[in-house]
Amino acid sequence: MRVYSSEMRRATIRHHPFRRLPATSLILLLLSLSACAPIMGYVTYYDPTTYKNLTDLKPQVMALYDTFTRDPVDFDKIAAIRLRLAQMYEYENGKGPKNIEVAKQIKKIEDTFNRDVDDRTSGKWTQPRLENAKRNIGDAFDVAIQMERAKNKNE
């Protein structure tokens, strides 16, 4: 009769070949589901219009933010960017449920922009406030750009 210490039993259990079975099964299940994604309609495709809209508007917003440290506020540019963001949101939202994440991100950009403009109307921004706002809106644009760039380009 053999007597095993508790350490030997733990080591035996840890190295048992069947302990990896659930992880292997999970990996196979995920691979199977990803193979079915095109059939089930979960794949979203890259849209060069979306990418161009985002990459064109980002520098315009950044340039406008640079003017927020001085007077006067250019309300015509603000109105033009608000219109453009609303148009981009409607375009993305109109693509349907497959594109909901990009539409949500553009809505976040729009909300951030509107909040920043409302904040600017109460007074000129300081340099730290400008840098923080530009970093935040820039990051929001970058997330949307990366989301679009990561989409399947083979339609």
Q: What is the pLDDT of residues 36-79, one digit of tens each?
A: 544 445 457 889 999 999 999 999 999 999 999 998 899 999 99
Whether 117 and 57 map to the same domain: the answer is yes
Q: How many residues does the chain have?
A: 155
Whether 54 and 74 map to the same domain: the answer is yes
Range from 5-9, 54-58, 128-132 carrying the lowest mean pLDDT: 5-9
Is 15 a member of any domain?
Answer: yes
DSSP output for the chain: -----HHHHHHHHHT-GGGGHHHHHHHHHHHHHHHHHHHHT---B--HHHHHHHHHHHHHHHHHHHGGGSSSP-HHHHHHHHHHHHHHHHHHHTT-GGGHHHHHHHHHHHHHHHHHHHHHTTSPPPHHHHHHHHHHHHHHHHHHHHHHHTSB---
**What per-residue confidence (pLDDT) applies to 10?**
54
pLDDT at 148 over 70: yes
**Tokens at 108, concatenated:** 């976040």
Whether 36 and 55 map to the same domain: the answer is no
The tally of CA atoms less than 13 A away on the side-chain side of residue 153 is 4
Is 130 a member of any domain?
Answer: yes
**What per-residue confidence (pLDDT) applies to 40?**
45
Residue 46 region by backbone torsions, left for phi larger than 0, else alpha for psi between -120 and 50, else beta: beta
Q: Please list the residues that pair with 45 across neighbouring strands.
A: 152
Whether 26 and 70 map to the same domain: the answer is no
pLDDT tens, 108-125?
999 999 999 999 988 999
Whether 58 and 108 map to the same domain: the answer is yes
**What per-residue confidence (pLDDT) applies to 27?**
57
Whether 87 and 118 map to the same domain: the answer is yes
Whether 60 and 124 map to the same domain: the answer is yes
Bigger pLDDT: 78 vs 3: 78
Is 13 a member of any domain?
Answer: yes
**What per-residue confidence (pLDDT) applies to 39?**
46
Give the residue numbers spanning the domain of 31: 6-40
Whether 35 and 92 map to the same domain: the answer is no
Whether 108 and 36 map to the same domain: the answer is no
- Count of structural domains within the chain: 2
Whether 63 and 35 map to the same domain: the answer is no
pTM across the whole model: 0.71
Is 1 a member of any domain?
Answer: no
Whether 89 and 18 map to the same domain: the answer is no
Whether 123 and 98 map to the same domain: the answer is yes
